[in-house]
Amino acid sequence: MEIDSKKLIGNFVNSIKDTLKLGSRSVVGVDVGLSAVKVAEIEGNKETKEYKLISYASVPLPEGAIIEDEIQDEEVIVEALKQALLRAKVSSDNICLGISGPNTVARRLQLAGGSDEEIEDQVIWEAEQYLPFEIEESAVSFYTMGENEGGGVDVLVAAAKNTVIQQYKAIFEKAELRLKILDLGIISLINVFELVMGAKLDEPNQSYLLIDLGAQKTEFIIYKNNMIVFSKEIQVGGVMITEEIQRQMGVNYYEAEDLKITGDENGNLPEEILEIIDDVIEAFFSEIKKTIDFYVSSTSDESLVGCYVTGGSALIPGIIEGLEALLGVDVGILNPFEAIGYNEKKFDEEKINEIAYRGVSVLGLAMREL
């Protein structure tokens, strides 16, 4: 079957071109995670790298609205999305949505290079080889990252299955919103990572590991020589602990979340909870170890110099120390507010702390410019 490469790439980026005609350049980031729908708006300047959070809201999702990255209940998502936008009082209607999951792919490719058209052809040819789904049923886009040592170009290819895009389009239509930009979750995380790390990342041949520990999944990204060299999503996350608390203690989802996050009436985590956490994080560590071993054995990269974590599950007691022991490098929390300002009258410390852990992805989406 003949593939119309231009059309495929066009599909993904058309929406971006559309908006060039509009006045407002700021975008509203939207992140639909298992635990909540989050929205954020950032005022910023790409040249001076000055960014300021101007609005944020997070609306929790009920149990089962999403299962394994598949939306089960569209209506619930539509309502949460509308409410989040209302609460955040966003000023722009240019929405940038982050997508992730098994029906999306991000991959770095080394190509021979050439004219834009030649690069496009190479991207399509390569994508056909490795995409885990049919190229005819997906949208493919790429960013040229620069020339490589071999005289070719490095590109980051992003692809998503049409069914995922269609489902989100339907949700946004129901909410009477127009989806303007789609981006991959890992790219939004990297936007913030690069901003916070700054010139430290220019050091050649030093790899950093960035881990987003969410509710249903963990994003695992290796960053080296100013680019993503490896990424993988693993199906472990904080909800595994919640479910185990539900099962062992006979409580519902909300009670279990509460026990896990705030503990008992004195704010202490009961012994039973700590035991559950210990058991589940052993499984986390073993998955993370498998992923890092796979990366090291397939690339012989021994240059890991540090690890940064984000996501709500980075707050699980013992996680940082455990990762340090596992990886043998320093592990820190990626704090977006080292590089992004905010209005102190509008956001209190507690809110900023929550956003610092749970909002990195949506902040990265909101940083996008049209």
Ligand X SMILES: Nc1ncnc2c1ncn2[C@@H]1O[C@H](COP(=O)(O)OP(=O)(O)OP(=O)(O)O)[C@@H](O)[C@H]1O
**Of residues 6-45, which lie at the interface with Mg ion (CB under 5 A)?**
33
CA–CA distance, 94 with 285 (Å, rounded to integer): 39
Token look-up 């896990």 returns 260
Shorter beta-carbon distance to Mg ion: residue 36 or 158: 36
Given candidates 216, 225, 231, 246, which one binds ligand X under the rule CB under 6 A?
Answer: 216
Determine if 322 is a binding residue for ligand X (CB under 6 A): no
CB of 345 to ligand X, least distance (A): 25
Nearer to Mg ion, 323 or 370 (CB): 323
Q: Which is nearer to ligand X, 126 or 257 (by Cβ)?
A: 257
Distance in Å, CB of 206 to Mg ion, minimum = 26
Q: How far is the CB of 316 from ligand X (least distance, A)?
A: 4
Q: Which of 3, 67, 261, 325 binds ligand X (CB under 6 A)?
A: 261
Min separation Cβ 38 and Mg ion, Å? 8
Q: Please give the C-alpha separations between residue 7 and each of 19, 77, 244, 337, in angstroms, as whole numbers.
A: 19, 30, 46, 39
Here the tokens at position 22 are 């509009």
- In terms of DSSP bridges, do strands 66-67 and 50-60 run parallel, antiparallel, or are they unpaired? unpaired
Amino acid at 40: A
Residues pairing with 105 in the sheet: 159
Q: Which residues, other chains included, contact 218 with Cβ-Cβ below 8 Å and sequence gap of 6+?
A: 211, 212, 233, 234, 235, 236, 237, 284, 287, 288, 311, 313
Structure tokens of 87?
């609460």
- Residue 153 engages ligand X in binding (rule: CB under 6 A): no
Q: Which stretch binds ligand X (CB under 6 A): 39-47, 125-133, 168-176, 257-265?
A: 257-265
Question: Among residues 56, 49, 74, which one has the least CA distance to residue 64?
Answer: 74
Please report whether residue 364 would count as binding ligand X according to CB under 6 A.
no
**270: Cβ contacts below 8 Å, ≥ 6 apart:** 259, 263, 264
- 214 touching Mg ion, by CB under 5 A: yes
Q: Quote the least distance from Cβ 277 to ligand X, whole Å.
A: 8
Residues 32-51 binding ligand X (CB under 6 A) are 33-36
Measured in whole angstroms, the distance separating CA 98 from the mean position of its chain's CA atoms is 7
Q: Which residues lie near ligand X (CB under 6 A)?
A: 33-36, 214-217, 237-239, 242, 257, 260-261, 311-313, 315-316, 358
